[in-house]
Amino acid sequence: MIVTETKIRVYYQDTDQMGVVYYGNYARYYEIGRTEMIRDLGFTYKQMEEMNIMLPARSLKINFLKPAHYDDLLTIRTIIDTLPKVKFPIKTEIYNEEGELINSGETVLVFYNSITNKPFAAPKFFIDELTRLFNNDVSQPQRK
């Protein structure tokens, strides 16, 4: 299992009139966590796109457990617990400052070739790095 953590502050623009995070912003929070996780793995989306590798979302599942509020410092925990094939499932948990789980879900991405416009199996260099990290049991968050 690979786990990374990213901290974000809830800004006023993220909230509704009641000061609660608008539900549509959680998809963006998930993306922030995924982007930083990919970077922590030693890659960037930009580098992958330059190799004609796209990672569009196929599905998104979100569970709203407790609200987040304006000015909260949230921890986005991004988890890979299986090696991807064509589909790349990524779990996300969001915690408030008290360490309470307030949101959880899963995004499934697809490895997609921008030249052929077709899905394809995860590239070897990506699988090799994930396998190395899985074998080293990277089960603790890599970012604080």
Q: Which of 14, 16, 81, 137 is catalytic?
A: 16
Is 81 tagged catalytic? no
| Residue position matching structure tokens 């953590």 | 5
Fold of 2-131: Thiol Ester Dehydrase; Chain A (3.10.129)
CB 70 within 8 A of CB 9: no
Cα distance from N-terminal residue to C-terminal residue, the chain: 17
Which of helix, strand or coil describes residue 83?
coil
Is pTM beyond 0.85? Reply is: yes
pLDDT tens, the chain, 144 aa long = 999 999 999 999 999 988 999 999 999 999 999 999 999 988 888 999 999 999 999 999 999 999 999 999 999 999 999 999 999 999 999 999 999 999 999 999 999 999 999 999 999 999 999 999 888 765 554 544
